[in-house]
Chains A and B, each alone.
Chain A
Amino acid sequence: MKQGAHANQGVHVKLNLFRFASPAAFYPLAGRLIPWFWALALPSIAFALYWGFFHTPEILSEQKQYYRIIFPHVGAAWMSMWLYVVMVGWAAVGLVFNTRLSFMMASATAPTGALFTFLALWTGAFWGKTSWGTWWDWDPRMTSELILLFLYIGYMALQSAIDDTRRADRAAALLAIVGLICVPIIFWSINCPDPTQCAALHQRSSLEHVERNILVAMFVMAFGFWMYSFAVILMRLRNIILARERHASWVMQLPEVGR
């Protein structure tokens, strides 16, 4: 009797853990979370821009105001790399547990990651033009970011090329995992084309040497970008859920779907 109850409890806990793995359960939750993430994202980005533009010291000479592009640039570069890891994480979870929602999460993450990669490259080009006098240089970090963009595009291209959703999800997931394994090798080979020495145009950066106000603006901006990613990824996820589950009865009953 007692053992039976225990077993039941075990099942109960497990069900709770995986409850939101069902698109039907996660769809309304995502809908409730999105406004919160927007509420965190927009003020943070606005505050970071204000603080970065008006409350940071002139670390360089008066003319070198261009350094302020660092605030969107660094945040975007961080997010571009982090979102790739997030995407691969969801893809791996999907392959292991065979949960549809994880694959949807991975494919919802890819466009936002690609967007941040592009943003980092673009702001980097502006910065490069004013400080190095060139839009593009084959600097290791810039090249790595470009390759990261190619990896995102490869993932999205493979997924959209396959009509069968299940195969598309799993094939793209495998590609993303292979990509993540290759990423350190690729980045290292770009950083050190000569195995005996490595060179970089970017300054060796350490957070300890950055002035505190700049650091605050940078981190708040990165936080704002992160919350923005949550908001748009969840919104895209809801669209993907609706598109893929359009024949399910719970979708038909949604007020926003109504016919």
Chain B
Amino acid sequence: MFRAFRTVLMRDITLAMRRRTDVFTTLFFFIIVISLFPLGVGAEQQTLRFIAPGVAWIAALLASMLALERLFASDYADGTLEQMMLTPQPLAVLVLGKVAAHWLLTGLPLVLIAPLVGLQYYLPPDATRTLVLSLLVGTPVLSLIGAIGAALTLGLRGGGILISLLILPLYIPVLVYGAGAVMASGDELGNVQAYFLLLSAFLILALIFSPWATAAALRISVE
């Protein structure tokens, strides 16, 4: 079972490495959205520092959501997905492999680029560190929940915009506590532990339930 997981993971990463643009599109989308906000609301240091957590997290939400459409689409188009569903290995494990690869290619780059947001928005080092850590714990949850939406909208016209309608409301808890952690780290008395405990709880819950729900959704969509 672990071998199946690793095979799917390595396969997806190899495929993505052959076409690196997909990875960079998501990353640059994130950077562009982040860079546009100061132009829209004005480059005042206090304002930027104040809105940074929310802006960074919403940009991460949108970036990871835009990438979701590609999660199953190409495998669905060339029939690989159907072959995967016929294998004796549980579909949920294969799904988990695909989602893990997807996160490594779209979520992890956002985490690594997050210090740039700290620089652009004049965040103190503490808050920047919290931002990176909260993204590290939070973005896998986004990929896992988003996978359900991607599986449900497989092969539909305008699937991309539909995913956002279905999945964005479900992202709210991650957004609230992810941005909340960064905001709390700016306070004097800021205690970010509670936020990280909650984010980790979401991650564990999503790890357990989401691959299973995604597999059920794929069965509905492909049958």
Contact = CB atoms under 8 A, between A and B. Distances in A.
Contacts of B203: none
Interface of A: 147, 150-151, 153-154, 157-158, 161-162, 167, 170-171, 174-175, 178-179, 181-182, 185-186, 188-190, 193-196
A157 B161 CA distance: 11
B169 interface: yes
A195 B217 contact: no
A196 B191 contact: yes
A81 to B, nearest CB: 15
A171 B157 contact: no
19 contacts: A153-B165, A161-B156, A167-B223, A171-B217, A171-B220, A171-B221, A174-B216, A174-B220, A175-B148, A175-B149, A175-B166, A178-B213, A182-B173, A185-B173, A186-B170, A188-B173, A190-B172, A190-B176, A195-B180
B57 interface: no
Nearest to A149: B169
B184 to A, nearest CB: 7
B162 interface: yes
Measured as residues with beta carbon below 8 angstroms from the partner, the interface class of chain B is 20 to 34
Given A154-B166, A195-B177, 18 more contacts: A150-B165, A150-B168, A150-B169, A154-B169, A157-B166, A158-B153, A161-B157, A161-B162, A174-B216, A174-B220, A178-B148, A181-B209, A186-B170, A189-B172, A189-B176, A193-B180, A195-B197, A196-B191
Contacts of A196: 191, 194
Most buried by A among B162, B165, B223: B165
A170 B223 CA distance: 11
Contacts of A147: 169, 172
Contact of B173 (A151, A161, A189, A194): A189
Nearest to A144: B172
Interface of B: 148-149, 152-153, 156-158, 162, 165-166, 168-170, 172-173, 176-177, 180, 184, 191, 194-195, 197-198, 202, 209, 213, 216-217, 220-221, 223
B124 to A, nearest CB: 20
A161 B160 CA distance: 12
A113 B221 CA distance: 26
A162 B168 CA distance: 20
B5 to A, nearest CB: 23
Most chain-B CB neighbours within 10 Å: which of A171, A186, A195? A195
Interface centre among B197, B209, B220 (most CB of A within 10 A): B220
Contact of B198 (A150, A161, A190, A195): A195
A150 B198 CA distance: 24
B217 A186 contact: no
B170 A178 contact: yes
B148 to A, nearest CB: 6
Contacts of B157: 161
